[in-house]
Amino acid sequence: MQDQTPSSTVDRTVAYDFAAIEARWQRLWDDTGAFRVEDVPTDGKPKYYVLEMFPYPSGNIHMGHVRNYTLGDVVARYKRATGYNVLHPMGWDAFGLPAENAARERKVHPAEWTWRNIDAMRAELQRMGLSIDWTREFATCDPSYYGQQQKLFLSFMRMGLVDRRLSWVNWDPVDETVLANEQVVDGRGWRSGAPVEKRQLAQWFFRITKFAPELLEALPGLDRWPDRVRAMQSKWIGRSEGARVRFALADPVGEIGNVEVYTTRPDTLFGMSFLAVAPEHPLAAAATAADPAAAAFVAECRALGTSEAAIEGAEKRGYDTGFKVRHPFDGRVVPVWIANFVLMEYGTGAIFGCPCGDQRDLDFARKYGLDVVPVVLPPGEDAASFQIDTKAYDGPGEMINSGFLDGVSSSDAVKTVIQRLTEGGQGNGVTNWRMRDWGVSRQRYWGCPIPVVHCPSCGVVPVPEAELPVVLPEDVDFDLPGNPLDRHDAWRVVACPTCGGRAERETDTLDTFVDSSWYFARFCSPNAVEPVANAAAAHWMPVDQYVGGIDHAILHLLYARFFTRAMHAADIVDVDEPFAGLFTQGMVTHESYRAPDGRWLYPTEIERRPDGVVVEIATGGPVNVSAIDKMSKSKRNTIDPQEIIGRYGADTARWFVLSDNPPERDMEWTETGIAGAHRFTQRLYRLAQAIAERPDHGTSKTGVLTRAVHRTIASVTIALDQFAFNVAVARLHELLNAISDANRGLALADDAGAAEVRQAFDVFARLMAPMMPHLAAEILSQLHLTQGNAPDLTWPVADPALLVETTATIAVQVGGKLRGTIEVAVGASEETVLAAAAAEENVARLLAGKTIVKQIYVPGRIVSFAVKA
RNA sequence: GCCCGCCUGGCGGAAUGGUAGACGCGGCGGACUUAAAAUCCGCGGCUGUAAAAGGCGUGCCGGUUCGAGUCCGGCGGCGGGCACCA
């Protein structure tokens, strides 16, 4: 090991040659397998699993990746230094639509395109100097991964977690393909431009709703998740308590004798003035059959539904079907409307309208002249005069105009109504969930094949495990519209595993969210012959720290939580929650530039003149500097990480990304910021060399510098534990300034002082090592301070004795305002401190002639005199 | 419309209810240099003063407290998420 340490030639005239030095250390780490861990380690060390969301291999890494992987790497290296075995793997979320788009546009096979991108991006990531165990790398498009996923699918199928049913999709009639939401632009297919149709297809589903209660109940236990993410998930799952109410139609409509409604406010039933159904509701269908105007209205609603902008600003509209229902309690006859704001997917697809208690219902009633009867009296209002005008009241209160409920509180009324409905067989109390089952069918080639065959006589038959994986055929073409798997007879047509007759493979592939719902478990034993080796998962799961973007706050994290529970139920893992800790980072932003004619310009195409004016280099014309935006190709405001690393080095890029601001917020990439970070690394290197030249034979003393070192150890440790990396950077700046000052003021013969400075630098380098690993390793090696290899560095521990100060500066307030400070010995008695405070010149002046009504002393901090004249 | 987050110098930001503005970026002054760059040293909320003292200051208004950037109530602005969720 020792002889592999790079030679450290100190030449103080040469600036820090980051390119050579970073490459050298990376090679050493790679050659020695520095970051490799066992599937089931036996050395008795505690485990720590750090994972960043794995990247989609789009072609190149971007600044968002740099930020993401730097944050995770700091945690991984820090935990390793404090004595953990750290699992820190990397892989590729390699299935997905862009590969098929590339195939159509550039005639390159999705597999070839994907693997090429992976090779390029792996090299780019490796230049960042991440402490990753690359022996665990895999891509989800590899049959050795998706074959295991097919086994999981079949397990879930046996467990009753898989379902096949009809579902609506966006259908492009020209491309003969199902469109993703992002492929629908203004109601038209993005490529064909044809108006999108809604079509019903048989689709595969995971029954995630079976887990809805536990996915919700486990959220409070995820105490190392951001509150924000837990709140978003909770709302998405959307548990509500309410009632189903059956309304009998006054006259049956065909087969339909009644309409069922879901409500969270059964107490307001007497305020009902209409019933509204979704445009897709069977009763709406019945209305359209006989009434062309109703049909026209429903068609309008469908068209509106595809455009998001239209829904946003859509006014509440409806159509009176002429059907009537009977109120379950007072027997009133109430009209049935079709309304554009009622959703078929939620509840029963029908509501009762209570205008006084719901703003949407009120708007609707006012528009169409329906009754508005107040039924809940807000506290402090008078029943005789209370009116609903343009604002509905949805709070609690006393029931009025409500028959047998009058005088009861609205919360009691909920119970009473549910009881009455149940007794009368007109309804019952129910718990409703907003979350729907997870549709996993995709009519695409570049995804994991669903391992079933369709047999005309046996129906849906799972592919026997011995025949897995069902591998994607390679000889496909993308010249024709539709899914190439549908046209590939040699692949598609098979013998039925049960009866041996002619059958056909399922040609739907799985949603790529499935691929990312268990990859973290596969990383524990990436070569296992089963999806996950139990012993490895038992050791490493759950992920202790997961790091990624807030954009995955709901779907990816919820699906992964569902999968983990399902895998637990199948005895594959022994945890319920995949991610014990979650950190969500902000976006990377940058200024964007636009020429007067509207063209977006790359940062490299503009120049900032000394007078501050920004011009286009090519034309010399003025440039409009636009707002700080998320880096995006369309606005051309991206900064290429490779260019930055080439110019400044990986350590400098990492340092800037960490120092700019708190990592959960959006950061702004600035040229001055990265240049400043670069100056810091150069300064640090120069100082290290200056210190290296001093004689190295003294015994260190314990001076003010050593005390500063130990304070820094304590504060940096706390900062890293809290993900306050920008604060850790600030504390390290302070320490470097202190070391620099001490070194400058050192007499040539002061061997003890030199030893103190040297020792301070040793600690400094170890504290910064998680953030700038190459430079830290290089400096320690050059100073012959810590022998060996950066990953073997130990984290310094603060000596509590050196954190104790002998004197304290105490602030003195008079009347709540700061009027002076005093220096006192730590441990001085309260009387002594109060006397000293009162004697302070300025304080004494302000206290003169006043009466002290109260004096407060907070030891070590502050004295406060409350006075009156 | 609903939900969440944020608001502190020119800028990014720091601050267990206890000296607001650490640290950095930019700026200004000085040293070095023929000069520039780099580097090194110093200054730095606003106002006020010869210098002090003092006054004002964490989006706005109010409250709790000896003491509020921090806690509570209200208002405003900015950003993000969403499937109009009955």
pLDDT tens digits for range A813-826: 988 888 888 888 88
* pLDDT confidence bin for A789, thresholds 50/70/90: low
The predicted-structure confidence for A386-418, as pLDDT tens digits, reads as follows 888 777 787 788 899 999 999 998 889 999 999
SS3 content of chain A, % helix, strand, coil (to 5): 40, 20, 40
3-class DSSP state for residue A147? helix
Mean pLDDT of A487-516: 94
Selected residue with higher pLDDT from A221 and A523: A523
Where does the pLDDT of residue A626 fall: very low under 50, low under 70, confident under 90, or very high at 90 and above?
Answer: low
pLDDT of residue A11: 32
Q: Pick out the nucleotide with least CA–C1' distance to A553.
A: B81
**Contact yes or no for A386/A399 (Cβ under 8 A):** no
Summarize pLDDT for A461-487 with one digit per residue, the tens: 999 999 999 999 999 988 888 889 999
Which nucleotide has the shortest C1'-to-CA distance from A811? B19
Determine the Cα angle at A269 with ends A265 and A272, to 5°.
115
Strand B contact at CB of residue A862, distance < 7 A: yes
Evaluate if residue A648 carries a pLDDT over 60: yes
pLDDT of residue A4 exceeding 50, the answer is no
From the C1' of B17, which residue's alpha carbon is nearest? Answer: A858
What is the per-residue burial (b if ≥16 Cβ within 10 Å, else e) of A548-568?
A: bbeebbebbbbbbbbbbbbbe
CB-to-strand B under 7 Å, chain A 84-113: none
CA A424 to chain centre: 48
Diameter over CA atoms, chain A: 108
Nucleotide nearest to A719 (CA to C1'): B14
Ranges A11-20, A133-142, A289-298, A302-311: which has the least confidence: A302-311
Residue A821: per-residue pLDDT:
87
Task: Output the distance from A681 CA to B63 C1' rounded to whole Å.
Answer: 50
Residue A94 C-alpha from the chain's centroid: 19
pLDDT tier for residue A323 given thresholds of 50, 70 and 90: very high
The rounded percent of chain A whose pLDDT value lies above 90 is 46
Average pLDDT over residues A751-760: 89
Q: Kindly tell me the burial class for residue A458, based on how many C-beta atoms sit within 10 Å of its own C-beta (0-12, 13-18, 19 or more).
A: middle
CA distance A434 to A236: 7
CA of A593, C1' of B29: distance in angstroms: 34
Give the residue-averaged pLDDT of A261-265: 90
Q: Is A43 left (phi over 0), alpha (psi -120 to 50) or beta?
A: alpha
User: Cis peptide leading into A143, omega within 30 of 0?
Assistant: no
* DSSP letter assigned to residue A622: B
Whether the per-residue pLDDT at A8 is higher than 80: the answer is no
Condensed to tens digits (0 to 9), the pLDDT of residues A96-140 reads: 888 988 888 888 999 999 999 999 999 999 999 999 999 999 999
Residue A602 has pLDDT above 80, yes or no: no
Burial A607-636 (b: 16+ CB within 10 A, else e): eeeeeeeeebeeeeeebeeeeeeebeeebb
Verify if strand B has an atom below 7 Å from the CB of A342.
yes
Distance A832 CA to B53 C1' (A): 27
Mean pLDDT for chain A overall: 86
Q: Given this model, what pLDDT does residue A745 score?
A: 82
> What is the distance between the alpha carbons of residues A153 and A205, in angstroms, rounded to a whole number?
11
Please tell me the least confidently modeled range out of A91-95, A174-178, A411-415, A759-763.
A174-178
User: How far is Cα A190 from Cα A172, in angstroms, rounded to an integer?
Assistant: 9
The residue count of chain A comes to: 869
Which residue approaches B2 most closely, CA to C1'? A235
Q: Who among residues 414-443 of A has its Cβ near strand B, under 7 Å?
A: 434-436
Q: Kindly report the CA angle at A598 between A592 and A600, in degrees rounded to 5? A: 35
A754 φψ region: left (φ > 0), alpha (ψ -120 to 50), beta (else): alpha
Instruction: For strand B, list residues 842-861 of chain A whose Cβ lies within 7 Å of it.
Output: 842, 846, 854, 856, 858, 861
Q: Which residues pair with A590 in a beta bridge?
A: A629
Tell me which of A456-460, A462-466, A510-514, A746-750 is least confident: A746-750
A310 touches strand B (CB under 7 A): no
> Does residue A155 carry a pLDDT above 90?
yes
Proximity of residue A334 CB to strand B below 7 A: no
Q: Is the CB of A554 under 7 A from strand B?
A: yes
CB within 7 A of strand B (chain A, 165-224): none
**Mean pLDDT across A4-22:** 57
Report whether pLDDT(A309) > 70: no
Please tell me whether any atom of strand B lies within 7 Å of the Cβ of A238. Answer: yes
Segment A592-596 mean pLDDT:
76
Predicted confidence band of residue A828 (pLDDT cuts 50, 70, 90) = confident
Scan residues 372-411 of chain A and list those with Cβ within 7 Å of strand B: none
Bridge partner residues of A862 (DSSP)? A811, A858
Q: For residue A556, say whether its CB is under 7 Å from any atom of strand B.
A: no
- CB A487 within 7 Å, strand B: no
Residue A312: pLDDT over 60: no
B chain positions with any atom within 7 Å of a protein CB:
1, 3-5, 12-16, 18-20, 22-26, 38-41, 53-55, 66-68, 80-81, 83-86
pLDDT digits (tens, 9 = 90+) for A660-675: 888 988 888 888 888 8
Nearest nucleotide (C1') to alpha carbon of A861: B18
CA-CA distances (angstroms) from residue A66 to A28, A98, A121, A477? 22, 22, 12, 36
Please state whether the peptide bond connecting residue A355 to the residue before it is cis, i.e. omega within 30 degrees of 0.
no
- Tell me the average pLDDT across A585-605: 78
Label residue A310 by pLDDT band (50, 70, 90). very low
List strand residue ranges (DSSP E) for A497-540, in order: 502-505, 509-510
Beta strands A398-399 and A459-462: pairing type?
Answer: unpaired
Identify the residue whose Cα has the smallest distance to the C1' of B81: A232
HEC string for A724-764: CHHHHHHHHHHHHHHHHHHHHCCCCCCHHHHHHHHHHHHHH
Average pLDDT score over residue span A42-70: 92
Residue A281 contacts residue A350 (beta carbons within 8 Å): yes
Residue A362: which pLDDT band, with cuts at 50, 70 and 90?
confident
Residue A304 has pLDDT above 60, yes or no: no
CA of A722 to C1' of B83 (A): 35
Q: How long is the CA A817 to C1' B9 vector, in angstroms?
A: 22
Q: Is the pLDDT of residue A205 over 50?
A: yes
- Regarding predicted confidence, which is higher, A306 or A193? A193
Q: Which nucleotide is at minimal CA–C1' distance from A732?
A: B23
Q: Given this model, what pLDDT does residue A226 score?
A: 86
Lowest mean pLDDT among A157-166, A450-459, A492-501, A623-632: A623-632
Mean pLDDT over residues A733-761, rounded?
88
Across A172-186, A567-581, A642-656, least confident range:
A172-186
State the pLDDT at residue A2. 33
**What is d(CA A345, CA A326) in angstroms, rounded to the nearest whole number?**
25
The sheet that has A493-495: what strands, in order across it? Answer: A459-462, A452-455, A502-505, A493-495
What pairs with residue A430 in β-bridges?
A: A242
Separation of CA A591 and C1' B27 in angstroms? 21
Backbone angles phi, psi at A569, to 5 degrees: -60, -30
Name the nearest CA neighbour of A242 among A221, A268, A276. Answer: A268
For residue A297, what are its two tokens? 């209205």
Q: CA A520, CA A564: separation in Å to the nearest integer?
A: 10
Q: CA(A118)–C1'(B56) in Å?
A: 59
Q: Which of A262, A339, A348 is nearest to A304 (CA)?
A: A339
